[in-house]
Structure 1
Amino acid sequence: MTALIIEDEAAAARRLRKLVRQIDSTIQIIGELDSVETSVDFLLNNDSPDLIFLDIHLADGSSFDIFHYVEVRCPVIFTTAYDEYALKAFQVNVIDYLLKPIKAPALEQALEKHRRLNVGAPEINYRKLVESMLPEGADKRFLLRVGSQLRVVKMNEVAYFNTEDKVTLLTTHSGKRYPIDYSLEQLNEMVPSAEFFRINRQFIIRLAAIAEMHAYSKSRVKLVLNPLCKLETIVSTERSPHFKRWLEGQ
């Protein structure tokens, strides 16, 4: 059996590897990763392991983000020092988790459970499970591929989204632009409505990215964004009444 350890604390990863070897020397640890980015890259470009030990809190955010970008089909044993909300969901869905510091008897019991239950067991859709577990308003992140590398952009870094030549782009407050694998329709459902507004078919903008507003024809509003955008950003006629209420916080 092959296993992958995803853990951002080096000491905890070494301890887990040592315990696994002590309990079952036939388990081959094929890698130790410490972030969402490296984990997604590994899982996209390598054969799936037979088992993943997954820390909930990683160096660049929540390990739950991994399931948004990779379809994980192998069993997962979560490790955590806290997060009662997650533990309750795991219990309901019969998913194994280990509380830190991990003890040998608990690890042995979890491994034995997987040996007994995973043959012919129904596949767990981790992505849907994680989405149901995240609290309302939880901070989202976007994992973007830039050439051969991956980059995580936090929601609070985003200034606006727009489409150009059938490509959806994300622009950060620092002016960096990245292609993103979501449509504006999908993004409109993902971003917090108090902070973002879809002004027309081509743009979703953040309130903090509005530098200037000017009256335009037919009661429309023309925006100047920061960072500056080469395309015109005009609130559509049908969106203008909603836009004004959004500005007022309604």
Structure 2
Amino acid sequence: MKILIIEDEEAAARRLQKMLLRIAPQSEVLQVLESIEGTLNWLAAHPSPDLILMDIHLADGASFELFRLGRVEAPVIFITAYDQYALQAFRVHAIDYLLKPVKEAELSEALQRYEHQQKKAAPDWAALLESVQGSSPGKRFLIRIGQQLKVVDLEDGAYFYTENKSTFMMSKEGKRYPLELSLDKLEETLDPRRYFRANRQVIFAMEAIAEMYAVSKSRVKVALGPEPTFEVVVSTERSPGFKKWLTGEA
């Protein structure tokens, strides 16, 4: 199995090569490339590899440009940070995606998946590009919890909140799911007739409201169900809009 590595972080590239030696000693790393330009030149001068391990963010831009130019013919395992739109698309169209820092067990599973899919049709890169670029967030998210993959419908969310710079969804059943999307992006996606942004930390659904209390003339405390571990207070600047939202005037 001849593999091309496209990775602009030298340490990450070395790690990948060491892991490949351990889990796939029969494989051959043809080259390690760190840019779109270098990759284009290499692909133009060499036969297509069997497999490409590709980082998304390269030294001179996003690797999607390689697909736009139609130069990628080999199956690809993507390497990426947490990018919500990319993760959904890659799971459908690519062999797999690996989250940095890459774990040896996950790389091994990805290589096994590559072996199993050799008889299947080639990925639809045009569909991949269309799904990743220029699209708005979907109503469903593919999330990863350890080795488990789960599809979560945003409409099942009682409320969404941030904690330690991470975003979470609390379902109506009281289950918490990590989301790879900011509250700002979620606010653009959610139905404004049903969900309200109380402050910088939380967005909640109308039906999640259990009780409300006047904290001051301009602030309202909201009790939610399932009960959160934090206090929810509609900020002063959002209170007028909150009252209109409650009565359907917003």
TM (normalized to structure 2)? 0.52
User: Residue 43 of structure 1 contacts residue 70 of structure 1 at CA under 8 Å; is this kept in 2?
Assistant: no
Match of 1:35 in 2: 35
Q: Indicate whether 1:72 and 2:72 are aligned.
A: yes
Q: Tell me the secondary structure at the aligned position of residue 77 of structure 2.
A: strand
User: Residue 54 of structure 1 contacts residue 77 of structure 1 at CA under 8 Å; is this kept in 2?
Assistant: yes
Distance 1:71 1:94, change over 3 A: closer
Q: Tell me the secondary structure at the aligned position of residue 54 of structure 1.
A: strand
Distance (whole Å) between structure 1 residues aligned to residue 94 and residue 68 of structure 2 = 21
Q: Tell me the secondary structure at the aligned position of residue 71 of structure 1.
A: coil
Match of 2:117 in 1: 117
CA RMSD of aligned residues (A): 1.6
Q: Percent identity?
A: 46
Q: Which runs of 5+ in 2 are unaligned?
A: 137-250
Q: Tell me the secondary structure at the aligned position of residue 26 of structure 1.
A: coil
User: Residue 34 of structure 1 contacts residue 58 of structure 1 at CA under 8 Å; is this kept in 2?
Assistant: yes
Compute the displacement of 1:114 (Å).
0.8
Q: How does 1:161-172 map to 2 (within 5 A)?
A: none
Distance (whole Å) between structure 2 residues aligned to residue 48 and residue 102 of structure 1 = 24
Q: Indicate whether 1:108 and 2:112 are aligned.
A: no
Q: Which shows bigger deviation, 25-34 or 68-77?
A: 68-77
User: Residue 3 of structure 1 contacts residue 50 of structure 1 at CA under 8 Å; is this kept in 2?
Assistant: yes
Instruction: Deviation per CA, 1:45-75: give whole Å up to 9, x if none.
Output: 1110000000000000000111122332211
Q: Tell me the secondary structure at the aligned position of residue 74 of structure 2.
A: coil
User: Residue 13 of structure 2 contacts residue 32 of structure 2 at CA under 8 Å; is this kept in 1?
Assistant: yes
Compute the displacement of 1:133 (Å).
1.2
Compute the displacement of 1:123 (Å).
1.2
TM (normalized to structure 1)? 0.52
Give the AA of the match of 1:134: Q
Equivalent residues, number: 136
Give the AA of the match of 1:102: V
Instruction: Deviation per CA, 1:214-240: give whole Å up to 9, x if none.
Output: xxxxxxxxxxxxxxxxxxxxxxxxxxx
Q: How does 1:197-208 map to 2 (within 5 A)?
A: none
Instruction: Deviation per CA, 1:180-222: give whole Å up to 9, x if none.
Output: xxxxxxxxxxxxxxxxxxxxxxxxxxxxxxxxxxxxxxxxxxx
Match of 1:130 in 2: 129
Distance (whole Å) between structure 2 residues aligned to residue 83 and residue 47 of structure 1 = 31
Give the AA of the match of 2:19: L
Compute the displacement of 1:136 (Å).
5.3
User: Residue 2 of structure 1 contacts residue 30 of structure 1 at CA under 8 Å; is this kept in 2?
Assistant: yes
Match of 1:170 in 2: none
Distance (whole Å) between structure 1 residues aligned to residue 116 and residue 135 of structure 2 = 36
